[in-house]
Every structure is written in structure tokens, then in C-alpha cells.
Structure 1
Amino acid sequence: MAFKGTEKYIASRELQLAVNAAITLEKPLLIKGEPGTGKTMLAEELAKSLDANLIQWHIKSTTKAQQGLYEYDAVSRLRDSQLGDEKVHDIGNYIVKGKLWQAFEAEKRTILLIDEIDKADIEFPNDLLLELDKMEFFVYETQQLVKAKQRPIVIITSNNEKELPDAFLRRCFFHYIQFPDADEMRQIVDVHFPDIKKVLLNQALQSFFDLREVPGLRKKPSTSELLDWLKLLVAEDIPAEALQNKDGKQSIPPLYGALLKNEQDIHLFEKLVFMARR
């Protein structure tokens, strides 16, 4: 079954091709793009589209590749041995399965999401090369070879915070999610707010894209932040007139705290608006 997006996820033609190509090639799909462009949601909606289980591995700065395979709980085994527990004689009782192991042992094909891989140490991707390529790994404590029963569809996301190793990139199918243009954004908004007033939406999109064009912003507002802002505008019944620029000059939109997420960007925007009014 080819992925074509879902009712809740508008996938561009290029993204659809990338997903289906990665599935055909049986390679991990590496997705990059601005935060808030739907990288994580892609895996969630792909799982729904293919009626597959989703296993999510959210990466932190302290995450090690070994944790995705398994961990040996030596502390619990030592404690149980001191208490005279019989289960200490089977070391398998102290092997904690990681996300890759869970995906490999699944009887039904799964979607494995490795989310924000660029948060981890630079060696993290290299430490998973063999496992993602061969779809197997060895458990030394139990002398067990774990092989994937059904090759999972692997989605890997990155916010581009650091470069990934070339050897890792060669094993992936890559796609960069371009930020939606105005027409694509309307389709996305229509999924979440089908009854929003067109006049309000038009003015909100104009203000949103104008804000993204402000030079010097540390963090441009994303799709998810636009949706939050629209939800507030609808909830507070803000009229479209409140978003319009006065006398053709830039103005500060209401509830802009949903769009700008740090004080530097807020001060910069307020300063530019003040200068534009002079």
C-alpha cells in the first residue's frame, strides 16, 4: 500500500515519493526540516495509514545506541542474589529490551521512529550502522542473535542541529521537508479548522508569513505554532480587522506569544514595528 498522506496529515507529492521509495528500498527514511513541520507526526500518520504498530524512540543528549538494543540490569541481579532469589540463575531475567529489539521481534511489520537523532552524541548514528543495515544484533550476555522477523519501516528525524556521519547518510533515503507555501498551509489549516472564517484565515496567514520574513529572528514561527495561534484566535473570537495593518504599516498581531517563543525575537519585532510607525 502506497502512502498518500491521511485525513489529518497533508503530505506533499515529494514527501509521498520519499516515503514510498524508502519502503521499496528497505532503507531508513531520514527526515529533516524546521521544528514544527510535522516530522514526528509523519511516523504517527504513516502507522495509521498502513495499519501498523508504531514504536517510538525519542532521543536525548544522554541517549546511547546500546539502549535501543538492550540493557543489562546488573544492579537488580546483584540485589536479587543477595536476597537469594532463584531467578538470578537465568541472566535473561535481567535483559531489558530496547526499542529496536521490540521492533525486531514483532510478528507484524512495525514503524520504528528514531526521533531527533541529532540530539545524541556524534557517534550515536555510527553505533547503529550494522543493526539498521543487517537488521540483527548479538546479545553477548545470553549468546543470542536477535534478527528482525519482519523488517520494520524506520523513520529517523533530525532538526539539523549537527551534521550526521557520511557512513550513516549513505544507508538512508533522505528527504528535507520544505516549509509549506501559502496554498499548502491553507490545506493544512483546513484539516484542523474546516469551519474557520476565510477572511480571518487570509489575514492570519498574511500576518504569519510576514512575521516569518522578519530579518534576524532566532526562531521563525512554525506550522504547529500557527495552528496554536489560530486556535486562540477562534477561541477568543478575534475579528480579522484586529490582524490588519493600520495605514499599510506593520502592526503587532494579538496573542503573538503563540508565534514568538523567546524575548529576543519579541523585542526585535516590537522594535521593527515601532520604527515602521515613525
Structure 2
Amino acid sequence: MVNAAIYLRRPLLVTGNPGTGKSSLAYLVSRELGLGPVLRWPVTSRTALKDGLYLYDAIGRVQAAADRSPVIPADSDLGDYIHLGPLGTALLPYELPRVLLIDELDKGDIDLPNDLLNVFEEGEYDIPELVRFAARQSEMRVLTADRGGSAVVREGVVRCREFPIVIITSNGEREFPPAFLRRCLKLHVDPPDFDQLGGMVAAHFGEADGVDLARLITDFLERSGQLGGLASDQLLNAVHLATQLATSGAFQSDTDWNDLLKAIWHPLSAELE
């Protein structure tokens, strides 16, 4: 599915329960293909398309104008106040595609998925603040979403050379418009099974001496089934605590331990509280 998304130049919509590793896929793809740091765009209820493209600090530029020498042209420092967001940075003309993670899109405004469609289709966007000055200064260096990064924008237009690898995650809190779904490839991540959870625990804790891992994983899967799904990190928290208790030799009764597990393995849905 990842390869298909790359070949077809389409976003990959990754769905599944919280804690199943949806976001990790972006970092895996970037590492396996050697594509550099992942550009992560976390979505909230107030997120708008422009937040992902770029931000223009007009107030900061006005405040700095008081100290500017009258000899310096008014638009010479414009790029210092334009900061490309994760989406805007991903669409720069890189030789190799960047990996863009749009995290939890289902938390965003209902119009955001449709607002993304045109950008995905065209692979470019305008920065009006730079377009107005393009006749006088065709190139402008702006800040990017990479730490300490910058890039040159020509004629006020950002146009990708290689379409970014866009991975969008969703916890299924709401449905997306059909037009948006038609332009995405969809991948559902199932909850990890016993063997996969065992591999995760082994990767983090090794043998975890003094802890009955098989029993703990079995109990976790049973409680996860009762509560409609728990996150993998809730199991890791329990293993970490059990390991610390076993190492310190702290006494615990079965009742106390079960109470601790109930607190750690709490429901992810408020309806089940």
C-alpha cells in the first residue's frame, strides 16, 4: 500500500484504534527510504489549511520596521517573517520526496479534508505576500518547518518536484467526504496479536526478568476485548511497572496489582468509564 501511494502520488489514509502504531508508519517509511526527518502536522479542532502551508508574522514585521534603516527597501526582509508549515515545506522542490505525516485529521474542522484536495491535486500553492513583490524581487528566502531550515521561493509560488509521501492518520472519530476518500488509498491497521505484542515488549524490555510476560499479555488482550480496544503503550506501561516492582522487591498483593492494572488499562472511550 505504501508503494502504491508513492507510485500513484496519492495520500495514504491510515485508520485503526489509538495506539496501533499508525503514526509510526511515516517514520518507518522515511527511515527505510532515507528521506530525512518526517514533517509532522498535528491536527486540532482549530487547524486550518493555511496553518499547514505557511504563517506570515505581520505584527512582528511591523514592530521590526521601527528599527529599520530608511535606506533598506521595505520588502527586503519579508522572507524573515514567512514560516512554511509542514505541508508547505513538504511541497518544496526537493530532489527526493519528503514524508509528511498529517496526524489525526479526523480531529480537524469538517472542511479541512476538502480544503486539502486542491493542494494534493496541483502539488503547489501561492504565497500572496510574496506574489505581490515578485515583480521587484523574484526570489525570496523563507523559513521552513525543518529546525533552522530555510528555502528560496521563486515568484511567490511553491511547486513540488517530487510529490511528497503523505500519510494521514485517523482514529475514526468521524467520516470523511467521499471526494476526499476517492483521492486517498486506505490502509487499516489491526490491533496487534499476542506474538506482535510479545515482540514489542521484547524490543523495549528484553526478557523482563521476574515478570510473567505471557500472562500479562494474555490479561491485556482479555481486558482490551472487554473494553473495546486498548493502546499498546498501555501494555508497555504495565510491563515497565511490573519490572520495576520485581527489581525493587516491593511487596504487592494480587488485589493491589489488579487495582493497578485497572488504573493503567483504563478505557479509551469516555462511554466505557
TM-score tier, shorter chain, comes to 0.7 to 0.9
Residue matched to 2:9:
26
Please give the alpha-carbon distance, in whole angstroms, between the structure 1 residues aligned to 2:123 and 2:11.
11
**Distance change in 2, residues 1:79/1:220 (3 Å):** same
Say if 1:198 and 1:134 are closer, same or farther in 2 by CA, change over 3 A. Answer: farther
Distance 1:64 1:265, change over 3 A: closer
Question: Deviation at 1:34?
Answer: 0.7
Q: How far, CA to CA, are the matches of 2:269 and 2:80 in structure 1?
A: 51
Cα pair distance change 1:182/1:263, threshold 3 Å: closer
What amino acid is aligned across from residue 70 of structure 1 in structure 2? Answer: Y
How many angstroms apart in 1 are the aligned matches of 2:16 and 2:49? 23
Q: Matched residues in 2 for 1:101 and 1:107: separation?
A: 16
On the 8 A contact 1:220/1:260 being kept in 2, the answer is no
What is residue 221 of structure 1 aligned with on the other side? 230
Deviation at 1:254, TM superposition (A): 4.3
1:64 alignment partner AA: A
- Would the alpha carbon gap of residues 70 and 264 (structure 1) be closer, same or farther in structure 2, given more than 3 Å must change? closer
Paired AA for residue 101 in structure 1: G
Could you tell me how far apart the structure 1 residues matched to 2:120 and 2:253 are? 49
Query: Following the alignment from structure 2 to structure 1, what is the Cα–Cα distance between the partners of residues 253 and 195?
Result: 20
Find the aligned partners of 1:187 and 1:100 in 2 and give their Cα distance: 34
Shift of 1:20: 2.2
CA distances 1:224-245 after superposition (whole Å, capped 9, x unpaired): 1111111211221189xx898x
Q: CA separation in 1, counterparts of 2:107 and 2:100?
A: 17
Aligned residue runs from structure 1 range 2-151, under 5 A: 18-53=1-36, 54-84=38-68, 86=72, 88-90=74-76, 91-105=78-92, 106-143=94-131, 144-151=156-163
Alpha-carbon distance change, 172 to 198 in structure 1, aligned in 2, over 3 angstroms: farther
1:257 alignment counterpart: 263
Partner of 1:162: helix, strand, or coil? coil
2:19/2:232 contact within 8 Å kept? yes
Check conservation: 1:207, 1:243, Cα contact below 8 A: no
Q: Residues 263, 72 of structure 1: CA spacing in aligned structure 2 closer, same or farther, 3 A cutoff?
A: closer
What is the rounded CA distance, in whole Å, between the counterparts of 1:70 and 1:264 in structure 2? 35
Partners of 2:269 and 2:111 lie apart in 1 by 34
Structure 1 residue aligned with 2:144? none
8 Å Cα contact 1:77-1:88 kept in structure 2: no
The one-letter code of the counterpart of 1:161 is: E
Task: Please point out which of 161, 166, 189 is paired with 1:177.
Answer: 189
CA contact (8 A) 1:57 1:113 kept: yes
Q: How far did 1:264 drift?
A: 7.6
Q: In 1, are the aligned partners of 2:211 and 2:243 still within 8 Å (CA)?
A: no
Q: Aligned partners of 1:254, 1:220: CA distance in 2, in Å? A: 18
Compute the RMSD of aligned alpha carbons: 3.0
Query: Deviating runs (4+, > 4 A) in structure 1?
Result: 82-85, 261-266
TM-score normalised by structure 2 residue count = 0.77
C-alpha spacing 1:175/1:261, structure 2 compared with 1 (3 Å) = same
**What amino acid is aligned across from residue 94 of structure 1 in structure 2?**
Y
The one-letter code of the counterpart of 2:160 is A
The question of whether the paired residues in 2 share the 8 Å contact of 1:34 and 1:159 is answered with: yes
